[in-house]
Structure formats: C-alpha cells, structure tokens
Structure 1
C-alpha cells in the first residue's frame, strides 16, 4: 500500500480544502491517537505545536477533538518552531507530537507533521498504517476515558534553553550585530530572545505575525528583505528562517546569500577536523550541488545522497549512524542537538565559528565554487500526470542524452506542492538552460 494523504513532509494543502479541512484533521487525530495509544494502563499524551497561520486555530481544535476522542491527553504548545515539537515530544514523555505548519508555503496553505515518541518524524511505513486507520472505523474511547486538553505555557522556554545549551561554552555573541528574519512565523518570539540572551545586538524583522503574512516577502524564501536591512544597519550576519523555523539561509555582511550546501560544507569540514563527524560522512539530498560533493571529496569526506526531503536525510543518518546532514534549501540536521532540522541552532553554530575564528561571515560562507545549477517549476492541476506524458518522457530522454558526461538532470514531483521541478547542473550553462527549457516546455504543454 502506498501513501495517498502524506507527502514528503506530512499532510499539506490549502486550508479548508481537502485534505486540509477540519473534518480530515479530526479523522487524522483519531487515527493517529488510535495508532499510538497502547495498552498498559498509563495516561497517553500528544503535544501539538503550530505556526502563526490563521487556519492553525481550526486545525488545532479539530486535531484535539480527534485525539481526545481516543483517550489521548493533549498538551497545546501554541506557536513554536517545528524542532521544538520534536524536542518536547521526548522531554514531556508524549506518545506522539504534532506540528501544524506548511513550512515555507504561503499563509493560505497549512500542514500536519507527525513525530513519534522518539522525537523523529514518522517513517513511510507508519504513515501508511495511519492512513489505513483513516478508512476504518476508529473505536472511540468510553465516555469516562475521553482525554483532556490543556495549554502549556513554558514549552517555548524549554526549547529556548535547549537551543542555548548547544552554543559552545565560554563563547558569547557580544559585539555582533545580527539581522534576524523570522518570516512572521513560529520563531518570532523564541529566536530574537535566544540571540539577545547570548549577547548579540538583534535587528529583528518578520516578527509581527497577523495570521496572514507568514512568509510574505520575508523569510528564507525571500531573503531580499534581510539583505537590504543588513546593508542599512551594517550588520555582521543575517539569519533567515522559514515559517516553522526548521530551515535557514544565511546572508553575509555584504548581503550575499549562503544556502544549505555552503553551510553544510563549513560544518562538515570543521567537524571532520575535530574528529566528531560520524562516519566521515555528510548526508544530503540529490539536489545538493556537485561543487559540494567535490569539496568534500578533496577532504576525504563522503557525501551520502538521499531523496529530497529532510525526513529522508534523517532516516539515512539514523540508518548509518551519521550526525550531520541536510538540504540545499536550508534544512540543517545535527542529531547531536536535535531530531530534525533547526534553523536557529544552525545559525548559532555559524555564529560560533565567526567568534571562534574571528573571521567575517563572508570568509566562512564561501567554501566552494558551485557548479551552475538551474531549477524551474511547472504547476499542474490535481489529477494530472504530466510526467507520464509521452512528449515529456521524450524530452527528458533527449535532455539526459545531451547532458551525458557533462552534467546531471533531476525531474521530480514536489512532495509539498502541485509542482513539477526540473533541475539541471552542468559546467556549460548554455547547454543547461537549453535542456531545462525544453523539458519545461514539454511539461507545460502536457498540463
């Protein structure tokens, strides 16, 4: 059985349209509650966090009804980053954790991410079993066993203390000016307080959520606002988080962007030098630049590639005992510190390198020359299967033949949006652009 409801990062869609309806959230809460509730006579718990989307209230209430109907007690965290849910699921001895967020997507979208009792996102197999329960009649708890729900006021403070504990002892951020863009999202309170408490002068933007402005012209997918602010105030670094703060983009003092590949290169080399890079290996997805792979190889560090999605990176890390991985898009996973990507922790680790080496961000964020890479997206409607169209298959085959030995091609469906992503990488930029445009044209014609 394959997953129909879950994508690469939970369930996601437009709010109040299938599958992001109150009815589906209630059913999903009941199914997940039944899946995680075991016999044994003890109380069963679920922690639920959310970002700042208006629809979060609706989905939070529906999930709460579903979970309590199966006898699960619900602890409501309010707006917290996704990594906080992973942390608090384990520290509060919950059976399951839930994050209500559509990450970097616009405010009209929302999503539901599930974490197991170990704080890690669920496997494909677990999601398949939960989907099967959705189609079955979930037996509700007896009236006397219905669960309770209550709000937890100190969840974000627990998370903040954990984040600060990852900063190297004896180091401070005094004298550093940091532009911090919280995307009007889940970290709008936690991230500025953490940086300030560690000594930084914080210039915060994207910290005025109103339910409809998450990721709107701010955050890791729109770093121009932070870059402009850096130039305006003369900051040493810019940290751009996404809506649920599980990924990050960094901007140096000159306003130049550093993506996840450059950040991972710095960390992997540093950790390898210190002898703490497990397996002398970095896990990253097929989207990571060929330049990163060459940089690592020169330092005898292996790059283990995975499918796109930070959950697949984490699965590979757990399978092979690795402690560093991530995505070009800015998910940086350090399992020594967290169970999922954490943009704030990654930003702190970069700041620690600036303090330790007394070097500017620009000197640490350019670790390798990227191989030219081009990514274009084509939107399609539900029910369409553009990658099965003969003309698209022919265009892909022709592109692969043209790039053979000169680059690589990756075409895939997004796991979070109805998009076909067409990516090519080649030293010959003209060839790369031509191949991508031909395939994009074929996909557009098919849809």
Structure 2
C-alpha cells in the first residue's frame, strides 16, 4: 500500500523532534481524552510536538480546512498544562482520531514515530498533496510560551501554514476555528479576529437585552480565577452598554502564576461549596466564577448568616430552557421547534423533575462527558446542555434557525419574542461551552424575567447529594447497561440488585455506580430527601462494594446539601473535594482527559 509520505518531510520531522525529546515516564503512557492531554507541564514538550503533527495530518484529511490547537489546563494549578485539538467547525476532535493522537504521543523512538505517522496516513487515507493549516492559542500559564515553540517546530517541519493568536480563552479559539473555515460561506460564523468575537457578542447582547423591561438593579461581580478570562472579560466590557449592566471584575492577577485557580474560580467554588478567596459580597449580591480558561461559569450568593447558595450548571440549564421555551411559545413557533435538555446521571434529580413537570420539556440522558452531551444536543432542534460544573452551551439546529428566519410574526409581541430568540443564536457560542457567552446569556435572562438570585434559586430545591470513591481491584468489571446513561450496572451481577434494595428504603432515593476513567476505583453517587439519608445511602453502597473482595475501605467523597457543604466523615470514607462533578481525578498525573 502506498504510504503517501514525503520522505523529505519525515526527515524534517525527525530532526525537529530531537529538540523536543519525550519525557521519561517509564511504562506510563499518555492518553488523549475529552480534555485532550493534560499533565505536569514539564512532561508536555514532546506531546505538544506530536499534537502538531497530528493536527497537520487532520487538516489535510479535512481538505485543507484550519484545525485548532489550544494549550491550556483549565482549572488545574499553574504548573500543569495541556493541549487539545479542535475540528473544523469548532467542535472537539472526532473520537476516531483520539487513538492517533495517543499513539503519536507514546511513540518513544524515531522508528516508532515514523511508523505511527505512516499508519495514520494509511488508516485515515490522508492525501499528502492537500493543503494544511493550523491556528492555535494558549492561556496565561508560564509554560505556554515554551510549549508554543514545540508546536511551531512540528508545524514548520510539516510545512503547515499556521496562525498564532497568542493568549485567548479556549472558547475564543473554538470561535476562530469555525470563523476561519466559514469565512467564504454564505453565512460566515463571524469576523476572523479576536475583535470579531467581541463584536459579535456585544451586538447580540445589545439586541437580546434591549427589550427587557428594566436593566438589573444590582451589579454582578465576576471572579476570573486569576486566569485568561480576566483580560478578555475586560476587553468584552468595551463592547457592552455601560448603562445597562454593571460588572465588577475580581481575581484578575494574571501576572502571578501561583494565584491561577488558587482558592478561586468555578472549580474551587463548586467543589468546595464556598465563596472564593477575598469574597466581600453582601447578602444576595450576585456573583459568578469562571475557570482558568473561561469555558465554565457558575453563579452563587450568600444569604443572611453567610449561608452559601450555589447556582450551578443545572440551574443555568433550567434557567435558559425556561426562557427559550417562553420565547418559542411567544413567537408562535411552538409547533415548529422542539426543545430538549440533555443531562448526565450526575444532574441533581430535583432539576430533572423541574424540567419535566414544571417546564414540560423533554430530558435526554447521556454518558458523562461534554462530547456525549454535545453530540446528543446537536440532534435536537434546540438542545440545552450544561454539566453541573458549569460547562455547557445551547445548540440551535439549522432546522430551527431556518424556522426562525422564515417565520412571519402575527403581532408586535410575537415580533419582539422572535427578534430576541434570533439574537440568542448569535449571543450563545454554539461551538463549545463559553463562560463569557454564558455570562451574557444569564444576565439577559435575569433582566427579562426581572429576577434576583433569590427568585432564580426558588425555582426548585436541590436534593442533598453525595459523591464517593471506592477502590477496586478491577474497574473493568464494572460495566453499565447500554442505553441507561451509566445509571445502572450490568456487572458485577450482585451490585445493581443490592443498590436497588438500598435505594428503596429512602424517600427520593437515587444511586448509581460507574467505573473511574483513570484509576482502579468506582464512583458512587447518591441522592435522598434528607442529608442524613443521603450519607447513609451512599455509605451502605460503598460498604457493600468494598466487601466484594475488590478493594474498598477508603476513598473520597464530596457531599452537597441544599444549604451548602456537608462536613464530617461517613464510615471509612473520608470527605475530600473532588473535581469535575464526579470524575474526581488527580489531573496532576498523566490522564486520559476529563
């Protein structure tokens, strides 16, 4: 079989790779997952180099369309970093190419690198004569500048055209990829520049909020996690109406690497169930937090007595679905457009009940992970998805957008609703979860509804919930029933019947077990009507699994009640904060992604 390989190109690759040798990790391999590669920054040089090679091949496979590369580690500490590939329409790299990226990163010798490169060309049927283009950016981590040099070395060795956009948020890079590849289409996504992103957001926000009865009566404070979101939020403010929305930006010390995500940001607030460092809000002041690369956002406030109240991704999803559903009905499109909310098993059961019983909307469940949520949401007319950690967006299908364009309103009220709905399709970054875009969406909705954080919180009451980890000897033994969104176990056979028996004893009880993606452990998530019932339910399930002879007797848990964090310990299961709304990984080690 012809390899379609240019020997001169390969020699250039090997020569360039000499300057970026692979770190010695023994038998430990790297894995490309939902978050791409993520690990200690000192391990990444060679990995980023190989990602550049894969992106060049991916661009050729996609007919010369631009492929994106983002260097970031999101909510991780500053001495971590990561890299991921963005496909032509701003979406995540297709899953079929993840093994290629993994294999390249684990090629430990020049011969193995060559074989991997050839195998990708053959298996993916990449044509060498196709054009290739890559655009990339990084967040504020000090290691980013060095990693960019490794990336450029790979792109120059493969004669790949590239554009370095410097420091951007992750969603801005996704925006630029789609804008670049749609620039010559009839309906381009937006101007191909960072400024074009702000222009699009600003114009859409002005259009969406102008029909609100009155602007928010109080300012909103944005915790930017001392990350890239800080300068980009300040830049966005230049495009927003100053007389409508008052915004205070805090935790904006990007020059201090040690402060990145330290006791602040969306992940810290969500997992620790407390306000960020140096919080000075008064009762019922509106606050929100971004994460380090500004693709997640969560809201929160304190009540009298410093009681912490969280408005997380579930709350943002229900708020958005409620508002968009109202606009669809008011514009007269209810028979032409359907709306669905996509959730994972980790979504609070109270939010699901609220969507189904109060909003009268359909809920679709899918496996954990943004790529699964995005895929299902993309199949709906309007698909709303947010993970509890605040990562999510809203997708408007071409069918829905066509219905909006063609619809002839029958009254001024229908016209107003329709114009607001159309504005939302530009305000919402549909390529990926975008904290800045989602921030403007939430502020628009609260203004239209004339709601404070109190009214928002009052829509439903979260069920107390708890997340625990149990060590097991073989996590592969824990397989979920296909089509249940990981909510029921197929094997080991004794576990699901025992879970069912335990759950049946508690009001509003729910519990599921799923295998960890990165270690020999299982995650146990449970809910019940009372805090003590939740603790008891999860404790009993953990004890049963621990007694199966597969490990146990220790682990981690994160427990959240309607009034904040639960303290203390449950049996042998020491309370400790988990990341990623259930994934609970120590991402400081080489992992398979989020």
For this structure pair, what is the TM-score category when the shorter chain's length is used for normalisation?
0.7 to 0.9
In structure 2, do the counterparts of structure 1 residues 361 and 16 end up closer, same or farther at CA, with 3 Å as the change threshold?
same
Deviations 1:6-35 (A, max 9, x none): 223322223223xxx211221121022112
Instruction: Name 1:145's counterpart in structure 2.
Output: none
Distance in 1 between residues matched to 2:501 and 2:258, nearest whole Å: 45
> How many residues align structurally?
381
Instruction: Name 2:85's counterpart in structure 1.
Output: none
Is 1:16 the counterpart of 2:42? The answer is yes
- Identify which of 293, 314, 331 aligns with 1:261: 314
Distance in 2 between residues matched to 1:313 and 1:238, nearest whole Å: 26
- 2:343–2:364 contact (8 Å) kept in structure 1: yes
Is 1:6 the counterpart of 2:32? The answer is yes
Instruction: Name 1:189's counterpart in structure 2.
Output: 231
- 2:367–2:373 contact (8 Å) kept in structure 1: yes
In structure 2, do the counterparts of structure 1 residues 273 and 158 end up closer, same or farther at CA, with 3 Å as the change threshold?
same
Is 1:319 the counterpart of 2:379? The answer is yes
Deviations 1:200-257 (A, max 9, x none): 333222211233332111101223445963525x784212111111111102474522
Is 1:36 the counterpart of 2:85? The answer is no
- Identify which of 342, 346, 353 aligns with 2:438: 346
In structure 2, do the counterparts of structure 1 residues 92 and 215 end up closer, same or farther at CA, with 3 Å as the change threshold?
same
Is 1:198 the counterpart of 2:298? The answer is no
Deviations 1:264-323 (A, max 9, x none): 111111111211785231112221111111111113201111111222111111133433
Instruction: Name 2:195's counterpart in structure 1.
Output: 157
Deviates more, 1:6-15 or 1:284-293: 6-15
Shift of 1:413: 4.6
- 2:60–2:131 contact (8 Å) kept in structure 1: no
Deviates more, 1:394-403 or 1:184-193: 394-403
Deviations 1:125-167 (A, max 9, x none): xxxxxxxxxxxxxxxxxxxxxxxxxxxxx94333222322331
- Identify which of 259, 265, 283 aligns with 1:213: 259
Shift of 1:366: 3.2
- 1:180–1:240 contact (8 Å) kept in structure 2: yes
Q: Describe how 1:409-428 pairs up with structure 2 within 5 A.
A: 409-413=511-515, 420-427=522-529
Deviates more, 1:324-333 or 1:275-284: 275-284
Is 1:304 the counterpart of 2:364? The answer is yes
- Identify which of 163, 186, 189 aligns with 1:75: 163
TM-score (norm 2): 0.57
Shift of 1:341: 0.8
Instruction: Name 1:272's counterpart in structure 2.
Output: 325
User: Helix, strand or coil for the counterpart of 1:163?
Assistant: helix
RMSD over aligned Cα atoms = 3.5
Distance in 2 between residues matched to 1:33 and 1:42, nearest whole Å: 10
Shift of 1:60: 2.4
Q: Describe how 1:285-296 pairs up with structure 2 within 5 A.
A: 285-296=344-355
Q: Can you give the 5+ residue segments of structure 1 that lack an aligned partner in the other structure?
A: 96-117, 120-153
Is 1:26 the counterpart of 2:49? The answer is yes
Shift of 1:372: 2.0
From the CA coordinates, give the structure whose radius of gyration is larger: 2
- 1:266–1:365 contact (8 Å) kept in structure 2: no
Distance in 1 between residues matched to 2:442 and 2:277, nearest whole Å: 17
Shift of 1:424: 1.0
Instruction: Name 2:290's counterpart in structure 1.
Output: 241
